[in-house]
């Protein structure tokens, strides 16, 4: 196993800051689900364990969008709207996946980027609300 590298990231306006450590980033993923296609982000190829990730300190600066199964928090800056990372809520069992476009000094256009098939994950819709 190679040594871990320290990375820092931020949103476009710089209000949201985060840090993490992982093996050197040489690749990324793009998901073809309806949400990811619309935001066109290149994500970290693996989840970063919660112990190696320092999320933004002030949760009031973040907006959270819950989609599909409502277990993955999609975090974005409330000020500039930049999507910064994904985490699985309070559990953080899988850790975080980051928007590599937010990582300082990283050229996402030089990465080997593969597509993951999120479109094939079954859509889990909330139950209908009964009418009175």
CATH number at residue 41: 2.170.150.70
The predicted-structure confidence for 18-64, as pLDDT tens digits, reads as follows 999 999 999 999 988 888 888 889 999 999 998 999 999 999 999 99
Q: Is residue 127 part of a domain?
A: no
- Residue 39 phi/psi, 5-degree rounding, is -95, -15
Domain tally for the chain?
1
The predicted-structure confidence for 72-106, as pLDDT tens digits, reads as follows 789 999 999 999 999 865 555 678 999 999 999 99
What is the pTM assigned to this prediction? 0.83
Domain assignment of residue 63, given as a range: 5-120
Q: Is residue 115 part of a domain?
A: yes
Q: Is residue 126 part of a domain?
A: no
């Amino acid at each position: 196993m190679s040594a871990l590298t320290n990375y820092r990231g931020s949103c476009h306006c710089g209000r949201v800051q985060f840090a993490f450590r992982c093996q050197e980033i040489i690749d990324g993923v793009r998901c073809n689900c309806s949400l990811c296609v619309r935001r066109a982000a290149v994500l970290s190829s693996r989840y970063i364990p919660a112990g190696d990730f320092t999320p933004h300190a002030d949760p009031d600066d973040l907006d959270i969008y819950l989609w599909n199964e409502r277990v993955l928090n999609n975090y974005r800056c409330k000020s500039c709207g930049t999507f910064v990372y994904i985490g699985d809520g309070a559990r953080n069992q899988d850790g975080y996946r980051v928007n590599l476009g937010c990582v300082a000094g990283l050229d996402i256009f030089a990465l080997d980027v593969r597509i993951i098939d999120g479109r094939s994950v079954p859509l889990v819709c909330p139950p209908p609300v009964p009418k009175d």
